[in-house]
Structure 1
């Protein structure tokens, strides 16, 4: 949804209702994750996807009805539906889709949500997507202003807020499942966490290529190099910022300001030990999710030896991805960027990065699991 917030806000500001169809549950090999959204605008225009193509037409037809009538609906697509109606998922999985109308009445503070996301501050939207009819579609917001709205029950509200904080901390959307007075309730927590950072050190063509891929993956990309003649805005149009500074000094300052965390990706691409070694010492002492350095295997062995001699311990050295990237046979800057980005994705998901056809785990990473039981005394 994040990429379509500007369009949604434009329709909302003009008072024109929009339908939002959102994936709220998956089983088996589902093509889109929980939180994937299709918007159907006032004129039937479609933004986004819930299935990658399998059931889009059916969802579009349902969404147009919901947009016009205002009555939310919960849908399920899978093998059973395919057998009954000819509409289903070719991959064999099952998806649950919640369809609702969004307008100034049903989502009165959408403008606050969008402005908060644009400011890079965390906000969560909590929507009841399954349960008794009187709760369906009720919404809460959690943002810098605190909590706004209610799901209709104080204990459910408290549990949903706990789920929202967990989702924001994990940086992923999830569904909380609760029981209120013997009735099952599901709450979709759409988490708009600030985008994670990718900091690339070096001002080369390979860095420019990786900056482009990093931006496409949703990272806030910074390029840092000590040489002002190379570290220019024109050379790195995909980067959010280009910094002229010694890499280790810049990274140390960012770490001291708490702007490096467990989601941050750091890649040294300087090919120069005088920049690289002090940088990696700082990087490996911090909490970054991924620390990589490019170069040949021989260069990496020499790099590790120098870091070890400088006092970097073995646990820290084990975190260093080098040579950075998966073994794809990459040679061009674009191919190298894909190789490194693929390793970053694999590390983030806790996967090995091998061929899908030889793997045994689910193809798609499972969504954040949120659950609780609420009962009246």
Structure 2
């Protein structure tokens, strides 16, 4: 116990269940078997566990949101959240330098959290119920982050406690030209945590499982079970393990999921492509056209937009980015994927999804932090219409 005060993790240990199962029992938003509920209740009484004010308020807030979103398509994101400290400097300091920052701001971060917030923020005709399966601690930062995410429409499923019982942290150093350097603590989720937390059944609404690259190899058994149950499965290659960053492994990967997001730098690394952009796209098209069993592949190109390689075809679809003044590129790829998934799960074509997503990713770079500017459906529609008008002129 921490400072003599029992935590939700202590209850889970005493009851022999996961932290997520205890959370489900306390929140009441996911059924728990009677025998499991009895063990948890006995552990709570034995330890005299008293949930925090935040935890006691959470069930009502989650229940209210679930009532409003139950009929919407569902997106379950698996990955990590962290605390970002955003530091703006004129230029990245050298070793032994002491550099003043214009400011140091605290924000919720992590690729999975960024993506979930972007997907939940679209709303309108593309509204989703968004859940984030992750690990949290019992610290004040964890409660603060859960509150921040919930206020943005993301329901957090705490499937286990972090190793050191606090959220990991990241330093995001932003330079005047918009470049950024990220120093982060490591984070991992075990596949067994997710499957123990929830029963995988055929969904009543269109549902998608999205996995951070960090956790791809550990999630392989879950990918098959979710797909067999009728879920769509997508993957973002951010943090893809070294064992999957080679041509053979990557080509196997794209055959296991319905949709893969990858940035151009990672694509070049995996296939050892050193040619200019147009030639790189053609090389990629030739590689992917030879793979018969694969899902759609979306390659993000930063300020140049994105290109989609459709499954079962030898052609590609190219979409432009929105010209903007870049402040901070952190999380642009996460925003792209989140907005793309919001349309994809509503049945939009991959081209329509990509055009909206490219604009959302561009807008993200106009503010500091990965969640500094979250685009909504109305804004995206207006900007997309303006772009189409300019292209037609």
TM-score by length of 1: 0.32
Where is the strand percentage greater, Structure 1 or Structure 2? 1
TM-score w.r.t. length of structure 2: 0.31
More helix per residue: 1 or 2? Answer: 2
Could you say which structure has the larger radius of gyration?
A: 1
